[in-house]
């Protein structure tokens, strides 16, 4: 409960700073990541660990709930235009990840730096930076990297820290590169609050809601997540795709579109998820693994640098919105929930659904590419 209290306070401080100070240019999403990283590393709360119950609850239950609640705002007529460019940028990002892994392994010296399982490590980072930790662990288990405790734990620590850093980078980069100029396109899709393309500002998250509204959303969201997990267990299909389908179907119904509080509750759950992302940045864990940490950091830095150059450079050459490139990149590096959080923090409701779907796609293709790269390096 103390950890939850600190996370709640960090969210409140970040929202206040984003509304009332010059830090509004950073946005509350980036602020809560940075603030929680600081509070975790100075010892006010623990850094991320599977032994900390509240962190596991946020990842396993709150994150899917955030996806469900935010998708209740999506009107499919306002979302289709983002699909094809996002898909292209996602695969461009995957290509950047593969090239980055190859270059990174060459830069650190491969077997000389990481030992005989260097090729498996390359496959693990290919998988995790195309779809997420599911792919990372799939490759690690297949090649028994988990038995090399030092290498596996060190790689996990660096991966967690890099994921938090990249979330901050993708929040900040679109603001540095400049927002898209074709504002008329947004105005067209923001004519009604139910349309996913509406630009989101902190003021728009302020809603007049009552206990009835919040209780109804709590019941609907919890039932949606439970039902999705149940169907996934029966069918073997990814639960995030089932959850997305269920939420989108409900979102097209007028009574659901009229529900109050979806923006407020959806954004609050996303901010809680982002706060836990900040706790992933464990500087003490990196310091404890010594020289291996430095080699892993160099390896991951090369991967993310090349990935970023390919995604944002390609997006610029194609004259695409840097926010679109950022969300596609985050779908690669962080997966569905991180990409959703980024789209929402950038005020791009039109990218929320593509972000979730691309993250799910990454879960599917990332493992295949991870094994392919491992075989190539081997």
Helix, strand or coil, per DSSP, at residue 72: coil
Percent of the chain with pLDDT over 70: 87
Q: Please report the pLDDT score of residue 186 as a whole number.
A: 43
Question: Please, what's the b/e burial string for 262-291 (b: 16 or more CB within 10 A of its CB; e: otherwise)?
Answer: bbbbbbbbbbbbbbbbbbbbbeebbeebee
Helix, strand or coil, per DSSP, at residue 364: helix
Q: Please report the pLDDT score of residue 115 as a whole number.
A: 85
Q: Please report the pLDDT score of residue 142 as a whole number.
A: 79
Instruction: Grade residue 198 by pLDDT with cuts at 50, 70 and 90.
Output: very low
Instruction: Grade residue 363 by pLDDT with cuts at 50, 70 and 90.
Output: confident
d(CA 98, CA 120): 14
Digit-coded pLDDT (tens) for 257-293: 788 888 788 888 888 988 888 887 777 777 777 788 8
Q: Please report the pLDDT score of residue 184 as a whole number.
A: 36
For residue 248, pLDDT beyond 50: yes
* Top-confidence residue, 213 or 182: 213
Considering only 87-91, 94-98, 197-201, 369-373, which range has the smallest mean pLDDT?
A: 197-201
Q: Please report the pLDDT score of residue 100 as a whole number.
A: 95
Considering only 63-72, 126-135, 182-191, which range has the smallest mean pLDDT?
A: 182-191
For residue 187, pLDDT beyond 70: no
Pair of tokens at residue 70? 């935010």
Instruction: Grade residue 255 by pLDDT with cuts at 50, 70 and 90.
Output: confident
pTM, entire model:
0.70
Digit-coded pLDDT (tens) for 103-119: 999 999 888 888 889 99
Q: Please report the pLDDT score of residue 191 as a whole number.
A: 34
Mean pLDDT of all residues in 242-248: 82
From the centroid of its chain, how far is CA 209?
Answer: 28
Pair of tokens at residue 55? 């962190």
d(CA 253, CA 298): 50
How high is the mean pLDDT of the chain? 82
From the centroid of its chain, how far is CA 8?
Answer: 20
* Top-confidence residue, 197 or 40: 40
Q: Please report the pLDDT score of residue 85 as a whole number.
A: 83
Structural domain boundaries in the chain: 2-377
Closest by CA position to 84, among listed 73, 95, 92, 94 = 92
For residue 29, pLDDT beyond 90: no
Closest by CA position to 312, among listed 302, 321, 301, 300 = 321
Pair of tokens at residue 125? 């980072």
Q: What is the CA radius of gyration of the chain?
A: 20
Digit-coded pLDDT (tens) for 131-180: 776 677 778 877 878 677 678 778 888 887 888 889 889 988 888 876 54
Percent of the chain with pLDDT over 90: 29
Mean pLDDT of all residues in 87-102: 93
Mean pLDDT of all residues in 248-256: 83
């Amino acid at each position: 409960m103390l950890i939850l209290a600190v996370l709640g306070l960090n969210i409140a401080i970040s929202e206040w700073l984003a509304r009332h100070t010059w830090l509004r240019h950073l946005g509350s999403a980036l602020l809560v990541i940075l603030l929680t990283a600081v509070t975790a590393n100075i010892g006010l709360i623990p850094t991320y660990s599977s032994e900390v119950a509240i962190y596991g609850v946020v990842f396993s239950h709150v994150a899917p709930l955030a996806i469900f609640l935010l998708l209740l705002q999506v009107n499919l007529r306002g979302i289709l235009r983002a699909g094809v460019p996002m898909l292209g940028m996602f695969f461009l990002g995957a290509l950047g990840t593969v090239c980055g892994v190859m270059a990174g392994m060459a830069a650190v010296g491969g077997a000389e730096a990481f030992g005989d399982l260097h090729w498996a490590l390359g496959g693990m980072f290919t998988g995790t930076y195309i779809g997420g930790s599911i792919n990372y662990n799939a490759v690690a288990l297949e090649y028994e990297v988990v038995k090399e405790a030092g290498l596996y734990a060190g790689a996990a620590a660096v991966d967690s820290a890099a994921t938090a850093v990249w979330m901050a980078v993708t929040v900040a980069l679109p603001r540095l590169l400049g927002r898209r100029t074709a504002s008329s396109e947004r105005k067209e899709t923001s004519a009604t609050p139910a349309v996913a393309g509406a630009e989101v500002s902190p003021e728009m998250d302020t809603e007049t809601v009552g206990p009835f509204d919040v209780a109804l959303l709590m019941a609907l969201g919890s039932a949606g997540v439970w039902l999705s997990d149940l169907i996934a267990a029966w069918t073997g299909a990814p639960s995030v795709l089932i959850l997305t389908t269920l939420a989108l179907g409900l979102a097209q119904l007028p009574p659901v579109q009229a529900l109050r509080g979806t923006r407020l509750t959806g954004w609050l759950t996303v901010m809680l998820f982002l706060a836990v992302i900040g706790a992933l940045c464990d500087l003490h864990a990196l310091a404890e693994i010594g020289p291996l940490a430095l080699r892993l950091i160099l390896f991951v830095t090369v991967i993310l640098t090349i990935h970023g150059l390919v995604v944002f450079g390609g997006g610029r050459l194609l004259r695409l919105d840097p926010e679109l490139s950022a969300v596609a990149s985050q779908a690669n590096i962080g997966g569905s929930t991180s990409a959703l959080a980024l789209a929402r923090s950038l005020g791009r409701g039109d990218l929320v659904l593509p972000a979730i779907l691309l993250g799910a796609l990454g879960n599917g293709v990332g493992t295949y590419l991870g094994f392919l790269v491992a075989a190539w390096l081997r």
